[in-house]
Each structure stands twice: as C-alpha cells, then as structure tokens.
Amino acid sequence: MTKITDMVQSQVIASIKKEADIEKAIQSDANITFLLAGNLITTKDYIDRLKAVNKITFVHIDFIEGLSNTPSAIKYIAKMWKPDGIITTKSGLIKYANEAGLMTIQRIFLIDRNGLKKGIDIAHKCKPHAIEVLPGIMPTIIDDLTKQTHLPIIAGGLVSKKDEILNGLEAGALAISTGDPKLWNLGL
C-alpha cells in the first residue's frame, strides 16, 4: 500500500464541509480531499466526482449522516464507495478499515497535555497511517508531536490564514487540512 507521505503533492488538504464546496475542491490545487459532508445516499456520488479528477479522497465517517460505526459499515464503505481512506476519532474503527484495505487517519483533539499523550498512545495501538490533530494552529505542539511519533502529522481545525498553514508546515506537519476554499490554491 502507498504511504500517505507519498500521496501528498499539495500540502494543503481540501476539507469539504458542505456539498457546495465539492466543485471548489475539484478545481483546487489540493490533490487530497477530506470529505466531511454527505449521507448514505450522496456520499458515493461525492467520492466518484472527486476521484474522477484524481483527487485522493478520505471520508470522515463520523460526519456522514446515517452511517453507523460498525465493522460492517467499514466493509460497505470499502467495497461500495471505494474512497482511498477514512478519517475517524474512533480508534476501534481504524483496525477494521486497515483490514478492509483503506488508508486510515486518526483524528485527535488536543485539549491538554494529558490528551496529547493519550492520543499518541491510542494512535500507536490502533496503527493509523497518519494522525490529524485539531486545532491545527499550534506549531509548538505540532513540533512536539513529530518528536513523539513516527506517524505523519496532519494539522487542521481553526486554520484560516496562510501564515497558520506555513507555521504548521514549518513545525513539521506533513500537510494542513482547512475548510476554507480560499486557502486550497496556495501552491504549497
């Protein structure tokens, strides 16, 4: 399986939070998309549209309306929707997605140092292909994370300015995910 580090061409990831932004993501420089919008009926179409223009697509399964968090749901996603991977905060689903041949990203919310340590410990146990940390506007914490784990770090959440993206990348993040379409064409 390809490593996520080999997939990144643009270091800005288009985090799609509403259907209206799918076309903006299609037209963007971002080669990786995080799909945080959709439901059981629409998500496959969204994935197909993105993949038709060679966008690497990860579905954030915690945000898909009507989707249950079960092993059979992961198998269904892998077989029927065929995204490149999934994102989830639920570490138990990472194992099932890995077994189904999907790339996996463990999303971790950093609220304090204890949460940081616990998040890293969980990620090392469930073995995702990368970690997405939120909020992504903490370069010092991103730097600390890169020293504590071998897993690629993607920073996201509250990112609204180019300098925040640059600071995160300089701190060692592999890429930065943002829901702001204005930031998807920075040429990074």
Give the domain extent around 84.
Answer: 4-183
Confidence band, pLDDT 50/70/90 cuts, at residue 179? very high
Mean pLDDT (the chain) is 95
Q: Is residue 188 part of a domain?
A: no
Task: Give the total number of structural domains in the chain.
Answer: 1
What is the structure's pLDDT at 187?
92
Q: Is residue 45 part of a domain?
A: yes
Residues 6+ apart with CB under 8 A from 165: 11, 12, 159, 176, 178, 183, 186, 188
What is the structure's pLDDT at 70?
92
| Domain at 80, CATH number | 3.20.20.70
Q: Is residue 109 part of a domain?
A: yes
Q: Residue 90 and residue 22: Cα distance in Å, rounded?
A: 25
Q: Is residue 101 part of a domain?
A: yes
Q: CA torsion angle for 115, 118, 124, 126 (degrees, to 10)?
A: -90
Over residues 86-100, the pLDDT tens digits come to 999 999 999 999 999
Give CA 27 to chain center in angstroms.
19
What is the structure's pLDDT at 98?
96
pLDDT at 113 over 90: no
Q: Is residue 64 part of a domain?
A: yes
Q: Residue 25 and residue 150: Cα distance in Å, rounded?
A: 29
Q: Residues of the chain with pLDDT > 70: what percent?
A: 100
